[in-house]
């Protein structure tokens, strides 16, 4: 039996860190050897995450790049934008393969990053030299690059994976095959998506306080203001072979987990209305984590909760001559931690499904 690969979780005190640990602590091919977090340093994991009582009593340390690199070959960075880039760069230069769950390496253009993520503290990208090296970690779109990274790693190179955002994951899985097949007009996409409140992170705030969010449904960051917009445009533009602009409206739903993305598109040409659904079936026939629902069935966030699975479908509305593509995921798993582990599996040459075959929780 081959030795397990030592891994680290950096920024482990949030919801994404919690999900990473839940998956990695039971992964057959890795061993968690380092857990760090700024605010929780000095505490035990089962104090910060009571659900881990009886599972792990590991201590949480303050981050030190040299110490993490001395222990781990692979690190997951679950840190805020801007802060993450510096940590990733410090680990990468020490030879650690990093899977970054922030947005710091998702956008290939530094000027675009500065426009959407720059602020007074991070006016310029902190590690611009690594932008072009990062692989956008959507296995269904970039599996070949992730597999090549495994070969490069075996030859001594150090891979860096930018794990996609949650809204882009649900959206790309639903609509990218239709764009790639030339079935819809790529410049007229409207994305309407709903997310559970865990997407806002673990830090308490008025906008996610129970009394403020319960029994309500609200749109937020409308009018092209949400930071995931350029990420979706970048990836869909690459699929379409041309730059595109889409309209994206996110909504906050009073539930803990889940994202449902509804993408409205104008079809190209005429033909069998079933061609849109067939395009999804053809695209995901061999994908381990994407299920194309049969005609008449619709994605439901409750049916993917706690899993790395995605449910997608496409429906043609003959009356309005529009196509509706839908995708449902768990924002913390397929939209974050699970997808990161899926990418790690590919980069390390493991079975892609290792540690990720848990069935969804229901009800």
CA dihedral 326, 106, 289, 79 (to 10 degrees): -110
The span from the CA of 309 to the CA of 89, in Å, is: 31
**Residue 343 appears among annotated catalytic residues:** no
Pull the structure tokens for residue 306. 């706690």
Contact between 162 and 135 under an 8 Å Cβ cutoff? The reply is yes
Reduce the secondary structure of the chain to three states and give it as a string.
CCCCEEEEEECCCCHHHHHHHHHHCCCCCEEEEEEECCCCCCCEHHHHCHHHCCCCCCECECCCHHHHHHHCCEEEECCCCCHHHHHHHHHHCCCCEEEECCCCCCCCCHHHHHHHHCCCCCCCCCCHHHCCCCEECCHHHHHHHHHHHHHHHHCCCCCEEECCCHHHHHHHHHHHHHHHCCCECHHHCEEEEEECHHHHCCCCCHHHCHHHHCCCCEECCCCCCCCCHHHHHHHHHHHHCCCCCCEEEEEECCCCCCEEEEEEECECCCCCCCHHHHHHHHHHCCCCCEEECCCCCCCCHHHCCCCCCEEEEEEEECCCCEEEEEEEECCCHHHHHHHHHHHHHHHHCCCCCCCCCCCCCCC
The span from the CA of 327 to the CA of 305, in Å, is: 13
Contact between 152 and 159 under an 8 Å Cβ cutoff? The reply is yes
Q: Which residues pair with 114 in a beta bridge?
A: none
Burial class (CB in 10 A: 0-12, 13-18, 19+), 241: exposed
Catalytic one of 101, 166, 312, 326: 166
- Which residues are marked as active site? 166
């Amino acid at each position: 039996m081959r030795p397990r690969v030592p891994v680290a979780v950096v920024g482990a005190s949030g919801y994404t860190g919690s999900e990473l640990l839940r998956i990695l602590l039971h992964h057959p091919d890795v061993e968690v050897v380092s857990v760090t977090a700024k605010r929780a340093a000095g505490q035990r994991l089962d104090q910060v995450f009571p659900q881990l009582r009886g599972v792990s009593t590991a201590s949480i340390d303050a981050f030190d790049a040299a110490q993490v690199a001395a222990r781990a070959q692979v690190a997951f960075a679950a840190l805020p934008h801007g802060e993450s880039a510096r940590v990733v760069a410090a680990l990468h230069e020490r030879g650690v393969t990093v899977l970054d769950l922030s947005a710091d390496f998702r956008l290939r253009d530094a000027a675009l990053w500065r426009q959407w993520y720059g602020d007074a503290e991070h006016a310029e990208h902190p590690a611009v030299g690594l932008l072009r090296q990062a692989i956008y970690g959507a296995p269904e779109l970039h599996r070949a690059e992730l597999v090549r990274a495994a070969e490069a790693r075996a030859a001594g190179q150090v891979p860096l994976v930018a794990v996609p955002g949650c809204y882009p994951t649900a959206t790309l899985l639903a609509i990218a095959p239709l764009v790639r097949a030339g079935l819809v007009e790529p410049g007229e996409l409207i994305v309407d998506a709903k997310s559970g409140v865990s997407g806002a992170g673990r830090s308490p705030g008025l906008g996610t306080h129970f009394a403020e969010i319960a029994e309500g449904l609200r749109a937020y960051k409308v009018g092209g203001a949400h930071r995931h917009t350029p990420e979706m445009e970048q990836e869909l533009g690459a699929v379409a072979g041309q730059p595109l602009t889409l309209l994206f409206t996110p909504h906050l739903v009073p539930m803990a987990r889940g994202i449902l993305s509804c993408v409205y598109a104008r079809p190209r040409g005429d033909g069998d209305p079933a061609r849109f659904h067939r395009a999804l079936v053809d695209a995901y026939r061999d994908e381990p984590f994407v299920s194309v629902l049969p005609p008449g069935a619709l994605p439901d966030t409750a049916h993917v909760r706690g899993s790395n699975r995605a449910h997608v479908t496409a429906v043609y509305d003959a009356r309005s001559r529009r196509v509706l593509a839908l995708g449902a995921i768990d924002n913390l798993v397929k939209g974050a931690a699970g997808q990161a582990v899926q990418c790690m599996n590919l980069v390390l040459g493991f079975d892609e499904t290792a540690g990720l075959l848990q069935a969804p929780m229901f009800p």
